[in-house]
Amino acid sequence: MPEVVERARQADAFLHGEEYPPLGGTNVTTEGHENGVIVHFPEGLLISLDRTVAARLTTFIDQAVSMLQPQSARYRVTAETD
């Protein structure tokens, strides 16, 4: 885990507030993985979430991927309810 934490601390946001002021400052960055989601806060805090905990986000990601890569059988879009 120390290597993962060090890489996360060095990670830079894709877009900074000063580069596109309407967005404002970066609060968190998020990585969607096949079996989970990682949320990285600028203070160095990392949180890993099971895909079911981040259901709305992972459903959105799966739907976007299926539209971008419709031939991919790796991703399956399913309806999630609250």
Interval 35-77: pLDDT, tens: 889 888 877 788 899 988 989 988 888 888 888 876 654 545 5
pLDDT at 75: 47
Residue 34 inside a domain? The answer is yes
Does residue 73 lie within any of the structural domains? no
Per-residue pLDDT tens for 14-28?
777 788 888 888 788
Q: What is the 3-state secondary structure (H, E, C) of 4-63?
A: HHHHHHHCCCCCCCCCCHHHCCCCCEEEEECCEEEEECCCCCEEEEECCCCHHHHHHHHH
Q: Supply the range of the domain harboring residue 35.
A: 2-50
Q: How many domains does the chain have?
A: 1
Q: Is 29 domain-assigned? A: yes
13 located within any domain: yes
Q: Give the pLDDT confidence score for residue 51 in this predicted structure.
A: 87
- Is the residue at 32 inside a domain? yes
